[in-house]
Amino acid sequence: MGFVLFLMAALWALGWVMKAPVRARLIMIGLLYVAVLLANLVLPESAELRRATGGDARPWLVLGGAAALGLAYFWGVGRLRRRMASDEPQPQPDSFREAELNRYARHIVLREIGGAGQKKLKAARVLVVGAGGLGSPVLLYLAAAGVGTIGVIDDDMVDGSNLQRQVIHADARIGMPKVFSAEEQMRALNPFIEIRPYHRRLSDEIARDLFAEYDLILDGTDNFDTRYLVNRAAVAAGKPLISGAITQWEGQISLFHPESGAPCYECVFPDRPAPGLAPACAEAGVIGPLPGVIGTMMALEAVKEITGAGTGLRGRLLMLDGLDAESRAIRVRRRADCACCATATAHPV
């Protein structure tokens, strides 16, 4: 009998090492138990197999009964716990746990946001295009602010040269897709939000359907082709677009939304700059804190847009000169001949 018990223990240990489900391990042990019990009930007393397994079925019947009672007890307790859990009132989508109320307390006491504004943030769906210099502070502050659903799309990988300014990433995550690196940091910051990483390049084929899932789009990309693509998709979907751009010591930000009377990106920048006039950061360089300044302002404008607090940058382009510590805002208007928003049938999706 001792040998059989040892064999059962060995089967359990083998299943644990192979990471077999508990149910599969119990089935293996159960089949062995049934075989031993049958051997003691059916075979004659002189049979070697019966003598090797104890020679008497009664101890095995007692052992099986005790095991059955134990399994029935644990199954009953588990079922009772599941029933109690299902009877508990489930939190509503706009309700807050105690930990969330504590987390967002500094927002809730703000007269311009309050509890109603924080509920709007929790219900909001925001898509960030780009998880680089501008996307880093945007994603961190949106996550910290409690935006309920945050999507991020980028096909790039974390590189050592990014870490001078892309503060959402880390040296240990060099070589990881940026969207997954950003997701890891955002989850560590706020476990109460939903994060949707898209490790792919934004294209015309996916942009419209993707944008339809979100309320607000933030563009932190570093090339004009993608900026124009994002603008066209946002106009077609009828979504407000907060766009930021940086180079060397300078940055700019605005909110584009033709449906509300504001211009689109192409109204303000109808033509791509001539080669060499607006080089990318990799060519021209960029001071490390600048993306943090512009990206944080983008996150601030997003919070204001979602909650309705304050006056946003709809119809204004804010420009920052970090080298001389100067900033100014200029009025921008829709163009009647805009190739994008003048001909598009913009409507909410």
Cα–Cα dist 296/309, whole Å = 16
One domain, residues 161 and 294: yes
User: What is the model's pTM?
Assistant: 0.72
Mean pLDDT value across residues 84-95 = 55
The pLDDT, as a whole number, for residue 175 is 96
More confident site: 169 or 66: 169
What pLDDT does 88 receive?
47
- pLDDT tens across 141-182, in order? 999 999 999 999 999 999 999 999 999 999 999 999 999 999
Q: Verify that 69 and 207 share a domain, yes or no.
A: no
| 319 & 200 share domain | yes
Residue 25: which residues within 8 A CB-CB, separation 6 or more?
11, 12, 15, 16
What is the domain range of residue 252?
124-331
Do 142 and 78 share a domain, yes or no?
no
Examine the domain organization and report whether 141 and 285 are in the same domain. Answer: yes
Confidence of residue 72 (pLDDT cuts 50, 70, 90): confident
Token reading at 126? 């925001």
pLDDT at 93: 54
Cα-based distances in Å from 310 to 104, 113, 295, 302:
19, 10, 18, 11
CATH code for position 318: 3.40.50.720
How many residues belong to the chain? Answer: 349
Alpha carbon 203 to its chain centroid, in Å, reads 20
pLDDT of residue 19: 64
Question: In this model, does residue 47 exceed pLDDT 70?
Answer: yes
Q: Are residues 83 and 140 in the same domain?
A: no
259 contacts 333 by C-beta, under 8 angstroms: no
The pair of structure tokens assigned to 334 is: 């829709």
Same domain membership, residue 213 and residue 68 = no
- Indicate whether 104 belongs to any domain: no
Q: How far apart are CA 245 and CA 320, in angstroms?
A: 10
Q: What is the mean pLDDT of the chain?
A: 87
- pLDDT of amino acid 256: 97
Q: Which residue has the tokens 């219900």?
A: 123
Whether residues 246 and 194 share a domain: the answer is: yes
* Average pLDDT score over residue span 17-39: 74
What is the predicted pLDDT for the residue at 113? Answer: 95
Q: Are residues 69 and 147 in the same domain?
A: no
Q: How would you write the chain as a 3-class SS string?
A: CHHHHHHHHHHHHHHHHCCCCHHHHHHHHHHHHHHHHHHHHHCCCCCHHHHHCCCCHHHHHHHHHHHHHHHHHHHHHHHHHHHHHHHCCCCCCCCCCHHHHHHCHHHHCCCCCHHHHHHHHHHCEEEEECCCCCHHHHHHHHHHHCCCEEEEECCCECCHHHHHCCCCCCHHHCCCEHHHHHHHHHHHHCCCCEEEEECCCCCHHHHHHHHCCCCEEEECCCCHHHHHHHHHHHHHHCCCEEEEEEEECEEEEEEECHHHCCCCHHHHCCCCCCCCCCCCHHHHCECCHHHHHHHHHHHHHHHHHHHCCCCCCECEEEEEECCCCEEEEEECCCCCCCCCCCCCCCCCC
Q: What is the pLDDT of residues 90-103, one digit of tens each?
A: 445 568 899 999 99
- Residues 7-16 have a mean pLDDT of 73
Separation in Å, CA 203 to CA 7, 209, 230, 232: 59, 11, 9, 11
What's the pLDDT at 53?
73
Same domain, yes or no, for 131 and 244?
yes
Do 144 and 38 share a domain, yes or no?
no
Query: For residue 346, what pLDDT band results from cuts at 50, 70 and 90?
Result: very low
Where do we find the tokens 């921008």?
332
Are 133 and 228 within one domain?
yes
Number of domains in the chain: 2
